[in-house]
Chain A
Amino acid sequence: LATSGVPALAGKSDDTLTVAFAKQLENLDAYSATAREMIVIARHVWDGLLYRDPATGEYLGNLAESFEWVDATTIDFVLREGVTFHNGEAFDADDAVYTLNWVSKPENGVSNQGNVNWIASAEKTGPYSLRLHLKEPFPAALEYLSGPVVMYPNEYHAEVGTAGMGSNPVGTGPYKVTSVEAGKRYVFEKNDGYFAGPKGTAEIGKIVWRTIPERNTQFAELLSGGVDWVWQVPPDQAEKLGKKFSVSNESTMRIGYVSFDSAGRTGETPMSDIRVRKAIAHAINREAIVNALLKGASKVVHSACFPSQFGCFQDVAKYDYDPARAKELLAEAGYPDGFTVPFFAYRDRGYAEAIIGDLAAVGISVDFGYLKYAALRDKVQGGEVPFQFMTWGSNSVNDVSAITSHFFSHGKDDYALDADVKTWLTTADTSIDPAVRKENYAKALSKIADEVYWLPLFSYNVNYVYSDELEFTPYPDEVPRFFQARWK
Chain B
Amino acid sequence: MTDVTHSIEEEDFGPSPREILKKSILAHRSLLLGFGAIVIIVLAALLAPVLAPHDPYLQDLSIRFTPPVWQDGGSWEHILGTDHLGRDYLSRLLYGARISLTIGIGAVLISGTIGTTLGVCAGYFGGRVDMVVNYLITVRLSMPVVLVALAIVAIFGGSLNIVIMVLGFLLWDRFAVVMRSSTMQVRNMDYVQSAQAVGCSTLRIVLTEIMPNIMNNLIVVATLEMAHAILLEAGLSFLGLGVQPPLPSWGLMVAEGKEMLFFEPWLIMIPGAALFILILSINLMGDGVRDVTAPAGKN
Binding site for B on A (CB under 8 A): 215-216, 219-220, 223, 234, 236-237, 240, 285, 288-289, 291-293, 349-350, 352-354, 356-358, 360, 367-372, 375
State whether A349 touches B59 (Cβ < 8 A). no
Docked complex Cα distance between A375 and B159 (Å)? 15
Distance (Å) between the CB of A160 and the closest chain B CB? 35
Interface residues of B in 249-277 (CB under 8 A from A): 256, 258-263
Docked complex Cα distance between A354 and B260 (Å)? 17
Q: Does B240 contact A (CB under 8 A)?
A: yes
Docked complex Cα distance between A315 and B65 (Å)? 37
Contact of B57 among A237, A293, A360 (CB under 8 A): A360
Q: 27 A-B residue contacts at CB 8 Å? A: A216-B258, A234-B259, A236-B64, A236-B65, A236-B84, A236-B259, A236-B263, A288-B61, A292-B61, A292-B62, A293-B84, A349-B256, A350-B85, A350-B259, A353-B59, A353-B245, A354-B59, A354-B61, A357-B59, A358-B59, A360-B246, A368-B245, A369-B158, A370-B240, A370-B244, A370-B245, A375-B154
Docked complex Cα distance between A223 and B262 (Å)? 10
The 8 A-B residue pairs with the shortest CB-CB distance in the complex, in nearest-first order: A292-B61, A357-B59, A240-B263, A369-B157, A368-B244, A216-B261, A353-B245, A288-B61
Contact of B159 among A356, A358, A367 (CB under 8 A): A367
For B139, the chain A residues whose CB sits under 8 A away are none
Contact of A353 among B155, B246, B261 (CB under 8 A): B246
Closest to A342 in B: B157
Distance (Å) between the CB of B160 and the closest chain A CB? 11
Interface residues of B in 15-66 (CB under 8 A from A): 57-59, 61-62, 64-65
For A291, the chain B residues whose CB sits under 8 A away are 61
Most chain A beta-carbon contacts within 10 A, residue among B86, B246, B256? B246
Contact of A237 among B61, B62, B246, B260 (CB under 8 A): B260
For A372, the chain B residues whose CB sits under 8 A away are 154
Distance (Å) between the CB of B224 and the closest chain A CB? 30
Closest to A214 in B: B258
State whether A356 touches B246 (Cβ < 8 A). yes
Distance (Å) between the CB of A369 and the closest chain B CB? 5
For B61, the chain A residues whose CB sits under 8 A away are 285, 288-289, 291-293, 354
For B86, the chain A residues whose CB sits under 8 A away are 292
Closest to A367 in B: B159
Given contacts A236-B263, A240-B263, contact A356 B245 (CB under 8 A): yes
State whether A370 touches B84 (Cβ < 8 A). no
State whether A352 touches B245 (Cβ < 8 A). yes
Report B136-179 CB contacts with A as 1/0, cut-off 8 Å.
Answer: 00000000000000000011011100000000000000000000
Docked complex Cα distance between A288 and B245 (Å)? 20
For A292, the chain B residues whose CB sits under 8 A away are 61-62, 64, 86
For A215, the chain B residues whose CB sits under 8 A away are 259
Docked complex Cα distance between A354 and B159 (Å)? 19
Binding site for A on B (CB under 8 A): 57-59, 61-62, 64-65, 84-86, 154-155, 157-159, 240, 244-246, 256, 258-263
State whether B244 touches A236 (Cβ < 8 A). no
Closest to B153 in A: A371
Distance (Å) between the CB of B115 and the closest chain A CB? 30
State whether A369 touches B244 (Cβ < 8 A). yes
State whether A237 touches B259 (Cβ < 8 A). yes
For B62, the chain A residues whose CB sits under 8 A away are 288, 292
Docked complex Cα distance between A70 and B244 (Å)? 56
Q: A216-B258, A354-B59 are in contact. List 8 more A-B contacts (CB 8 A).
A: A219-B261, A234-B259, A236-B65, A240-B262, A285-B61, A288-B62, A349-B245, A350-B256
Distance (Å) between the CB of A163 and the closest chain B CB? 28
For A350, the chain B residues whose CB sits under 8 A away are 84-85, 256, 259
For A353, the chain B residues whose CB sits under 8 A away are 59, 85, 245-246
Binding site secondary structure of chain A? helix
Docked complex Cα distance between A354 and B59 (Å)? 7
State whether B155 touches A375 (Cβ < 8 A). yes
State whether A237 touches B245 (Cβ < 8 A). no
Docked complex Cα distance between A370 and B249 (Å)? 15
Docked complex Cα distance between A236 and B258 (Å)? 12
Docked complex Cα distance between A285 and B62 (Å)? 12
For B260, the chain A residues whose CB sits under 8 A away are 236-237
Closest to A371 in B: B157
For B259, the chain A residues whose CB sits under 8 A away are 215-216, 234, 236-237, 350
Distance (Å) between the CB of A337 and the closest chain B CB? 17
Docked complex Cα distance between A234 and B155 (Å)? 28
Most chain B beta-carbon contacts within 10 A, residue among A220, A293, A349, A360? A349
For A367, the chain B residues whose CB sits under 8 A away are 159
Docked complex Cα distance between A357 and B262 (Å)? 27
Docked complex Cα distance between A350 and B64 (Å)? 12
State whether A370 touches B158 (Cβ < 8 A). yes
Given contacts A349-B245, A354-B59, A354-B61, contact A371 B261 (CB under 8 A): no
For B262, the chain A residues whose CB sits under 8 A away are 216, 219-220, 223, 237, 240
Docked complex Cα distance between A292 and B158 (Å)? 28
Distance (Å) between the CB of A263 and the closest chain B CB? 23
Docked complex Cα distance between A360 and B64 (Å)? 19
Closest to A217 in B: B261
Closest to B58 in A: A357
Docked complex Cα distance between A289 and B155 (Å)? 30
Closest to A220 in B: B262
For A349, the chain B residues whose CB sits under 8 A away are 240, 245, 256
Docked complex Cα distance between A349 and B243 (Å)? 13
Docked complex Cα distance between A326 and B261 (Å)? 37
Distance (Å) between the CB of B73 and the closest chain A CB? 14
For B155, the chain A residues whose CB sits under 8 A away are 375
For B258, the chain A residues whose CB sits under 8 A away are 216
Docked complex Cα distance between A289 and B259 (Å)? 18
For A293, the chain B residues whose CB sits under 8 A away are 61, 84
Docked complex Cα distance between A404 and B168 (Å)? 45
For B240, the chain A residues whose CB sits under 8 A away are 349, 370
Most chain B beta-carbon contacts within 10 A, residue among A220, A292, A358? A292
Docked complex Cα distance between A223 and B140 (Å)? 43
Docked complex Cα distance between A371 and B155 (Å)? 9
Closest to B157 in A: A369
For A352, the chain B residues whose CB sits under 8 A away are 245
For A288, the chain B residues whose CB sits under 8 A away are 61-62
Docked complex Cα distance between A358 and B86 (Å)? 13
Distance (Å) between the CB of A247 and the closest chain B CB? 14
Distance (Å) between the CB of B286 and the closest chain A CB? 32
Closest to A356 in B: B246
Distance (Å) between the CB of B92 and the closest chain A CB? 12
Distance (Å) between the CB of B247 and the closest chain A CB? 8
Docked complex Cα distance between A358 and B159 (Å)? 21
Distance (Å) between the CB of B15 and the closest chain A CB? 55
Docked complex Cα distance between A309 and B71 (Å)? 46
Distance (Å) between the CB of A193 and the closest chain B CB? 42
For A369, the chain B residues whose CB sits under 8 A away are 157-159, 244
Docked complex Cα distance between A355 and B159 (Å)? 19
For B245, the chain A residues whose CB sits under 8 A away are 349, 352-353, 356, 368, 370
